[in-house]
Amino acid sequence: MPRLGAEAALRREAEAHGPEHSEALARGIAVLSAFGAARRAMTLAEAAHATGLPRATARRALATLLNLGLVESEGRQFRLTPRVLRLATGYLASNGVSSLLQPRCERIAAERGTTCSVAMLEGAEIVFVAHAQAARLSPFSAMVGTRLPAHCTALGRVLLAALPDPALERVLATLRPAPVTPRTETDPARIRAAILAARAAGHALVENEAELGFRSLAVPLRRYDGRVVAALNLGAPLALHPAGEMVAHLLPVLLGEAEDVGAQLV
């Protein structure tokens, strides 16, 4: 039944987007997006299962991606090729936030001995568009393109807090929070309260929820007209920066960096 459900969902999406929507392209992107850390290589059957598409549809998508050089095959296994990076390179080259803030993240991380990241909101998730760390501070190693649930991260709470109330309520209404660590907050009421607290304070502090033993502090990045387009954070092991010290010493750093870069964001 999941295959039929996926097919029906694609048809509904095509109808919603109108006659110019390419269902075949959407299916190909779905297969491409199914690859990741948990699925570095997939068989045809695994690709069909991961996407919920019929085997014949997944086969055509994989064959097309193979012809385009975006995937390669070895026996029954398919995996992504470096050519996929051209898609990301185009985004990074054209996205002012990434190109402007990657060098800044590298400088801040080196100066402070922390991780430093910039993320943007995509639905109920955040996507890292810049990231640096002075040293291997934790087992979790983020990189550009890493995705995390927005509700349990400092970056995500700051970005959700910046949404207009109707948009925030739409996200919260469809949120199905799953624990990332044993300390992840999953109660919808407390998640909403944490987001509203971040809105009132102008920053968010989260510890142990996205990674055990790690604390993150984030502030919004506003472009020249005041609109929040991303968030900037510093992260460090709990023992390196106690919570009060992190807010007292590093929040002014983040706010200063955010203000400095704001006029350059378009």
Q: How far, in Å, CA of 131 to CA of 187, rounded?
A: 29
The tokens describing 189, both together, are: 């009421």
pTM: 0.71
Mean pLDDT taken over the chain: 85
For the segment 82-141, what is each residue's pLDDT rounded down to a tens digit?
Answer: 788 677 666 665 656 677 888 999 999 999 889 999 999 998 999 898 999 876 555 455
Residues 34-86 have pLDDT tens digits of 887 778 899 999 999 999 999 999 999 999 999 998 889 988 999 988 788 67
Q: What is the pLDDT of residue 126?
A: 93
* Residue 124 burial (C-beta neighbours within 10 Å; 0-12, 13-18, 19+): middle
Distances (CA, A) of 125 to 79, 118, 147, 177, 212: 25, 13, 6, 11, 19
Banded pLDDT at 262 (limits 50, 70, 90): confident
Answer whether residue 263 shows pLDDT above 80: no
pLDDT the model gives residue 17: 66
- In this prediction, residue 24 carries a pLDDT of 85
Largest CA distance in the chain: 58
Please state the φ and ψ torsions of residue 187, each to the nearest 5 degrees: -80, 120
The partner residues of 234 in beta bridges, in order of sequence, read 116, 217
Per-residue confidence band for 1, with pLDDT thresholds at 50, 70 and 90 = very low
C-beta of residue 103 within 8 angstroms of C-beta of residue 116: no
Closest CA to 236 of 220, 222, 228, 247: 247
Query: Residue 5's pLDDT band (boundaries 50, 70, 90)?
Result: low
218-252 pLDDT, tens per residue? 999 998 888 999 999 999 888 888 778 889 989 99
Mean pLDDT of 7-27: 68
Of the listed ranges 48-52, 155-159, 194-198, the least confidently predicted one is 48-52
pLDDT of residue 101: 87
Is the pLDDT at 10 greater than 60, yes or no?
A: no
Confidence at 3, pLDDT banded by 50, 70, 90: very low
Which tops the pLDDT comparison, 1 or 53? 53
Domains and CATH numbers, the chain: 2-81 (1.10.10.10), 95-262 (3.30.450.40)
Residue 77: predicted pLDDT: 92
